Structure 1
Amino acid sequence: MKSKKILIITYYWPPAGGPGVQRWLKFAKYLPDLGWKPIIYTPENPSYPLLDESLMKDVPKDLEIVRTKIWEPYQLAEKLNKSNKKFKAGQFDVGQNQSWKSKLSIWVRGNFFIPDARVFWVKPSTEFLEKYLKENNIETIVTTGPPHSMHLIGLNLKKKLPNLKWVADFRDPWTEISYYKHLKLTNRSDKKHRFLESEVFKNADITLATSYTDAENFRKHGANAFCITNGFDESDARHHEQSEAIFSNASSKFTLSYIGVLEQLRNPENLWKALDDLVKTHLDFAENFSLKFVGRIDDKILQTLEDSSLKNHILNLGYLSHDKAVEEMAKTSLLLITNFPNETSKGIIPGKIFEYLATGKQIISFGPKDADVARILTETKAGKHFSYEDSEKIKSFILEKFELWKAGNLKDNSENIEQFSRKNLSEQLAKIL
């Protein structure tokens, strides 16, 4: 059977690090076995917030990758204010942490670069790809965002080539993302964002969401939307059933670990307070507790923790390669995941939860009530979800796990996680295509 070609338009591609790159990297890995030949279209000179060379090993050797140059103004923005580099990772200073330079930079970013600073790649990419698609007989494309400028490339191509099949993949929402309200948009800019988003929903043949709630919301806005979550790959997640040796290499401390980027908008202050109280009031807990960070933690969050009783319990390993980060997940007692606190973010499912699930470790989660993450944790019996208003319940949960750990009874366990394997998710995608 001859494979059908599918062009994937993505800003993030190895050696880019972080969860955003892994979704289509894994689809590109498994789609060839399902009748599809992926071709990647990505910038030649991108400005990535994180690099992870270890992900290069997952790029299929025979995968065709097409690159063209991009101009983006982040280098200029970083000269104005070093904290602007956070924009590339979707991070913002908020509230009292905002300087006048931060406020100005955020206002410029939101009102001058719509939908984002990669918008200058849209026109040249449209011109290049219109010709490329015709010459290579490609009838199906995927755009994956953020950055949502990728969807504008798809929108332009769909209008020029009406018979083209277009899949718009939203790894995060556009106007419903939590930081959207922090962009200091004028009414005119807000209307433009919403108009462009609506055009994408109406013109894409298929819209993909990474959560159940987002898919439902997209359908309400006129999209032909399906949910395909992110997941874990058995070949590199080191599943607890396959890697017993690594998992036995547990920490000598009762360790709560956060893996990934933690910005101010997802800062679980009530958790830090609960841990601070436990360290002050439970001598046994204080002697055996460790708070481990792997990844980029906002400087201001870190400073707050170091000014508290948790100071001597922090192990900050910084950014590690994906492989090393997975190993650190295994060497822990509890895994922490956080989401934006507002109701509109209940559909966000951070990608790392699936790799967390693959370890079999228990998970403590923070975010809005009735979040999709809570649904997954309930279905898999993998942990507990809390709102940012909870306090005493958090302490009870942590103490319960601590007592089990102390008695040697904190077992690895999770159920029904096979549905989230990258291979199974790729099969879902192939059916939709």
Structure 2
Amino acid sequence: MVNRVLLVAFHYPPVRESSGLQRTLKFSQYLPEFGWEPAVLSAHPRAYVTTGDEQLHEIPAGMPLKRAFAFDTARHFALAGRYPGFLALPDRWAPWWLGAVVSGLALIRQLRPRAIWSTYPIATAHLIGATLARLSGLPWIADMRDSMTEPGYPEEAAKRRWYLRIERWAAERAAKVVFTAPGALRMYAERYPHIPAERWAVIGNGYDEENFTRAAAMASAPPAAPGHQLRLVHSGILYPSERDPRPFFAALAELRRRGVIDAANLRIVLRATGHDALHREHVAAAGIADLVEFAPSIPYEAALAEMLAADGLLLFQAANCNHQIPAKLYEYLRAGRPVFALTDRAGDTATTLLQAGIDTLVPLDDATAIAQGLERFVARVRDGSAPAVTPAAAAAYSRYARTRELAVLLDEVTSGRPLR
């Protein structure tokens, strides 16, 4: 008999706007090697804001994949910029719930999976997972990844009530609740002290070697000439609060004022920040527009190739995210380039970096410390002493290794349950 699992995920190719799609995509690729056959229940591509076909070829051939009826309320049901609020709870993709439950029940009848797995950050995915589990009696794994709620988040009262309800359902009804960082697990264990400790689990994010192999063929080696213009790259969203780059911009302005850096010897590339207009204003106000390049979104493997070719990589993570680890961190480690991390040393992100031998860390909110640290980092990059991680050492963070962890968890939650 086949061990099958139903993966419920909003983000799946051809979506392009979230790096979170890599988690589900790689699980669906590698689970068969660990004795589990996946089926994916996702959303119709019309619900995606941005799409691209560059990762469609990575979807396993022959794998059951259902793209259920779905809409984006904010785009498809809006009149003069306004849309019905009840169609946007718990999020803008709430209409997906109806289509996915109908399609999911059909898949369950046809494929007879042994477990259901749903993944955040689209809250409707957990609503679907909870509904399918209740109607089918199958064990449900809620892949929270990060926390759904924080003090003051979500800000909208109705949305917050829905999020709190869904996370409570996950804590109380799921067979396992999975996080990507130990800090998030501790947060939820404290929030729900009546839940047994064995219900919580950590499966981190990671990188994929196959993608890096193809990216390496596209990448050019960093220039080796003394005094060449260094390129420091940040790849991905720069949230105005959780990854506020303004102290970094102030540090760049200070180093420029002191003559430590200029446009001839340093280039900062901010790739696909998601908030270019806001950050451009701050860069202009700091007088460093010629140092900072705002680059558009590019296909995933092209972004990996850019990491491989960079002189150094930039990571931003505020102290209020100490219980989170950005998925790009693992790609940075595999890229093997020096990393300059603006983060709190007490957080999970810093702990992971330090365990990997990366000690070039400064607080995100301290412009003076950033300026001092960046000056040292640039010097170490130029003399070759900046720490980096070898591919062999990075292997522990691969998506393949993470999939093995998920398979073990699936074995655990289905142990002793007869095949249906």
TM-score (norm 2): 0.86
Contact 2:312 2:381 in 1 (8 A): no
Which of 271-280 and 362-371 deviates more? Answer: 362-371
Residue 38 to residue 423, structure 1, CA distance change in 2 (3 Å): same
CA distance in structure 1 between the partners assigned to 2:157 and 2:318 by the alignment: 20
Would the aligned equivalents of 1:357 and 1:382 in 2 still touch at CA under 8 Å? no
Give the match for residue 364 of structure 1: 340
Choose the corresponding residue for 1:402, options 378, 384, 392: 378
Q: Distance in 1 between matches of 2:218 and 2:100?
A: 48
Q: Unpaired segments of 5 or more residues in structure 2? A: 411-420
Matches within 5 A, 1:216-295: 216-220=186-190, 221=192, 222=195, 224-238=199-213, 243=216, 246=219, 248-250=221-223, 252-265=228-241, 266-283=243-260, 285-295=262-272
**Alpha-carbon distance in structure 1 between the residues aligned to 2:367 and 2:231:** 20
Matched, 1:373 2:315: no
State the partner residue of 1:50.
50
* 1:154, distance to aligned residue in structure 2 (A): 1.5
- Specify the SS of the correspondent of 1:312: coil
Deviations 1:146-167 (A, max 9, x none): 21111111111222222x0211
User: Quick one: percent identity of the two aligned structures?
Assistant: 20
* In structure 1, distance between residues paired with 2:254 and 2:332: 26
Does residue 29 in structure 1 map to residue 6 in structure 2?
no
Give the alignment of 1:22-421 within 5 angstroms. 22-76=22-76, 80-81=80-81, 113-162=88-137, 164-176=138-150, 181=153, 183-185=155-157, 190-220=160-190, 221=192, 222=195, 224-238=199-213, 243=216, 246=219, 248-250=221-223, 252-265=228-241, 266-283=243-260, 285-298=262-275, 299-342=277-320, 345-407=321-383, 409-410=385-386, 412-414=388-390, 416-421=393-398
3-state secondary structure, aligned to 1:327: helix
Deviations 1:124-163 (A, max 9, x none): 422332343123222211111121111111111222222x
Deviation string 1:301-347 (CA, Å, 9 cap, x unpaired) is: 122213332111222321111111111112222211223442xx211
Structure 1 range deviating more: 3-12 or 386-395: 386-395
Instruction: Please say if residues 359 and 387 of structure 2, whose CA atoms lie closer than 8 Å, have aligned partners that are also in contact.
Output: no
Measure the CA separation in 1 of the matches of 2:51 and 2:220: 26
Could you say if the C-alpha distance between residues 190 and 40 of structure 1 is closer, same or farther in structure 2, counting changes exceeding 3 Å?
closer
1:113-134 deviation digits (Å, cap 9, x = unpaired): 3321222222342233234312
One-letter code aligned to 1:198: R
8 Å Cα contact 1:10/1:150 also seen in 2: yes
Give the SS at the match of 1:119.
coil
Offset from partner CA, 1:222-255 (integer Å, 9 cap, x none):
371111111011111249xx95994634484122
**Do 2:317 and 2:364's aligned partners in 1 also have CA atoms closer than 8 Å?**
no
Mark the CA change 1:363 to 1:325 in structure 2 (over 3 Å): closer, same or farther.
same
1:371 and 1:65 map into 2 onto residues whose CA distance is 37
Return 203-212 or 262-271, whichever deviates more. Answer: 262-271
Distance 1:317 1:391, change over 3 A: closer
* Contact kept in structure 2, 1:141 and 1:166, CA below 8 Å: yes
Preserved CA contact (<8 Å) 1:154 1:166: yes
1:54 aligned counterpart, secondary structure: coil
**Residues 256 and 333, structure 1, Cα contact 8 Å, conserved in 2:** yes
Instruction: Please report how far the alpha carbon of residue 293 of structure 1 lies from its aligned counterpart in structure 2 after TM superposition.
Output: 1.7
Q: What is the distance in 1 between the residues matched to 2:292 and 2:376?
A: 21
Task: For residue 4 of structure 1, report the CA deviation from its aligned partner.
Answer: 0.9
- My pick for the range that moved more, 18-27 or 117-126, is 117-126
Distance 1:382 1:48 in 2: 36
Q: Is the 8 A contact 1:274 1:392 kept in 2?
A: yes
Rate the CA distance shift 1:129–1:408 in 2: closer, same or farther, 3 A. Answer: closer
CA distance in 1, matches of 2:296, 2:334: 22
Q: In the alignment, what sits opposite 2:417?
A: none
Is the partner of 1:60 in helix, strand or coil? coil
Partners of 2:180 and 2:324 within 8 A in 1 = yes
| Equivalent pair of 1:280/1:286 in contact (CA under 8 Å) | no
Could you say if the C-alpha distance between residues 183 and 284 of structure 1 is closer, same or farther in structure 2, counting changes exceeding 3 Å? closer
Within 2, Cα distance between the matches of 1:367 and 1:401?
A: 15
1:77, CA displacement in angstroms? Answer: 7.1
Question: Counterpart of 1:38 in structure 2: which amino acid?
Answer: P
Distance in 1 (CA, whole Å) between partners of 2:93 and 2:72 is: 6
Seen in structure 2, the aligned counterparts of structure 1 residues 72 and 246 have a Cα distance that, compared at 3 Å, is: closer
Between the aligned partners of 1:261 and 1:314, the Cα distance in structure 2 is 15
How many residues are treated as equivalent by the alignment? 398
Higher mean displacement: 405-414 or 26-35 = 405-414
Q: TM-score, normalised by structure 1?
A: 0.84
Deviates more, 1:283-292 or 1:137-146: 283-292
Q: 1:408 to 1:245 in 2, by over 3 A?
A: farther
1:87 matched to which residue of 2? none
* Structure 2 CA distance for partners of 1:396 and 1:153, relative to 1, 3 Å: same
Letter in 1 for 2:70: I
Q: 1:77 to 1:291 in 2, by over 3 A?
A: farther
Q: What are the ranges of 5 or more consecutive residues in structure 1 without an aligned counterpart?
A: 82-103
Does structure 2 conserve the Cα–Cα contact (< 8 Å) formed by 1:267 and 1:301? no
In structure 1, give the amino acid aligned to 2:139: K
